[in-house]
A and B are shown apart, each in its own frame.
Chain A
Amino acid sequence: MSELFLELFSEEMPPGLQKHAREGIQKLFTESFDKLNINFKSNKSYSTPKRLVFFFEEITEKIEKKGITIKGPKVDSPKSALEGFIKSNNLDHTEVFEQSLDKGRFFFAKINPKIILVKKELAKIIPDILNKYSWKKSMRWADHSLIWGRPLKSILALFDNQVIQFSFHHLVSNNLTFSDEIMEEGQKKIKDFRSYLKLLDSKKIILDQNLRKQLIVKQIDKVCKVRKLKKKLNEKLLDEVVDLVEKPNVLLGKFAKPFLNIPKEILITSMQQHQKYFPLFNQEDNLTNFFIIVTNLEDKKGLVKIGNERVISARLSDAKFFWEKNKAQSLVKQVGNLKSINFFSELGTLFHKVQRIKKLGAMIADQLNLNKEKVEISASICKVDLLSDLVGEYPELQGILGSYFAKAQGFDDDISLAIKEHYLPLGLDSKIPKKPISVAVSIVDKIDTLVGFFGIGEKPTSSKDPFSLRRTTFGLLRIIIENNLSIQLKNLINYSNTLYLEQGFKFLKQSDSNAITNFLKDRFKNYLKEKKIRYDIIEAALASHVSDDYVSLYKKCLTLNKYLKEDLGKNILTTYKRASNILDQEKKTINLKITGEPNSSLFNKDEEKLLFDQINEVRKYYSNVIKDENYKKTLEILSSAKKTTDNFFENVVVNDENENVKKNRLELLEMFCNTFDNFIDFSKVEGA
Chain B
Amino acid sequence: MKKKKNKKKQIKKKNISIQNFQDTILNLQKYWGNYGCVILQPYDMEVGAGTFHPATTLRSLGTKPWRAAYVQPSRRPSDGRYGNNPNKLQHYYQFQVLIKPSPKEIKKLYLKSLSTIGINYKDHDIRFVEDDWESPTLGAAGLGWEVWCDGMEITQFTYFQQMAGIECKPVSVELTYGLERICMFTQKKNNVFDLLWNDTGVKYKDIFYQSEKEFSAYNFEHANTDFLFKIFEMVEVECKSLLDKKLSLPAYDQCLKASHVFNLLDSRGAIGVAQRTGYISRIRDLVKRAGSVWLTTQT
Question: Are B272 and A342 in contact (CB-based, < 8 A)?
Answer: yes
Residue from B85, B86, B104 having most chain A Cβ neighbours under 10 A: B104
Chain B interface size, as a band, is 35 or more
Question: Are B151 and A293 in contact (CB-based, < 8 A)?
Answer: yes
Report if A142 contacts B (CB, 8 A): yes
Question: Are B275 and A142 in contact (CB-based, < 8 A)?
Answer: no
Residue ID in chain B nearest A294 by CB atoms: B125
Report if A317 contacts B (CB, 8 A): yes
Report if A182 contacts B (CB, 8 A): yes
Question: Are A141 and B159 in contact (CB-based, < 8 A)?
Answer: yes
Q: Which one, A123-131, A306-314, A538-546, is touching chain B?
A: A306-314
Residue ID in chain A nearest B103 by CB atoms: A142
Residue ID in chain A nearest B65 by CB atoms: A143
Report the minimal beta-carbon distance from B250 to chain A, rounded to whole angstroms: 30
Question: Are A141 and B128 in contact (CB-based, < 8 A)?
Answer: no
Question: Are B102 and A141 in contact (CB-based, < 8 A)?
Answer: yes
Per-residue 0/1 for B174-197: is the Cβ within 8 Å of any A Cβ (1 yes, 0 no)? 000000000001001010000000
Report the minimal beta-carbon distance from A240 to chain B, rounded to whole angstroms: 10
Report the minimal beta-carbon distance from A19 to chain B, rounded to whole angstroms: 13
Question: Are B86 and A295 in contact (CB-based, < 8 A)?
Answer: no
Residues of B within 8 A of A16 (CB): 130
Assembly CA distance A184 to B121 (angstroms): 14
Report the minimal beta-carbon distance from A298 to chain B, rounded to whole angstroms: 10
Assembly CA distance A38 to B85 (angstroms): 64
From B128, B152, B171, A140 is in contact (CB under 8 Å) with B171
Question: Are A307 and B86 in contact (CB-based, < 8 A)?
Answer: no
Helix, strand, loop or mixed for chain B's interface? Answer: loop
Question: Are B149 and A307 in contact (CB-based, < 8 A)?
Answer: yes
Question: Are A340 and B272 in contact (CB-based, < 8 A)?
Answer: no
Assembly CA distance A367 to B72 (angstroms): 61
Question: Are A304 and B272 in contact (CB-based, < 8 A)?
Answer: no
Residue ID in chain A nearest B129 by CB atoms: A244
Residues of B within 8 A of A307 (CB): 124-125, 149-152, 185
Report if B248 contacts A (CB, 8 A): no
Per-residue 0/1 for A4-37: is the Cβ within 8 Å of any B Cβ (1 yes, 0 no)? 0000000110111000000000000000000000
Report the minimal beta-carbon distance from A609 to chain B, rounded to whole angstroms: 69
Residues of A within 8 A of B269 (CB): 340
**What is A's interface to B at a CB cutoff of 8 Å?**
11-12, 14-16, 49, 137, 139-143, 150-151, 153, 182-185, 244, 275, 277, 293, 295-297, 299-301, 303-304, 306-308, 310-314, 317-318, 340, 342, 344-346
Question: Can you give 28 contacting A-B residue pairs, CB < 8 Å?
Answer: A11-B128, A12-B127, A12-B128, A12-B130, A137-B132, A139-B171, A140-B159, A140-B168, A141-B171, A142-B101, A151-B102, A185-B108, A244-B129, A296-B125, A303-B123, A303-B124, A304-B124, A307-B124, A307-B152, A310-B152, A310-B188, A310-B190, A313-B190, A317-B190, A340-B269, A342-B272, A342-B273, A345-B274
| Known A143-B169, A295-B125; further 10 A-B contacts with Cβ < 8 A | A139-B161, A139-B171, A143-B170, A296-B125, A303-B124, A310-B152, A314-B87, A318-B86, A340-B269, A344-B274
Q: Sort A-B residue pairs by CB-CB distance and give the 5 closest, nearest first.
A: A307-B150, A345-B274, A14-B130, A143-B170, A12-B128
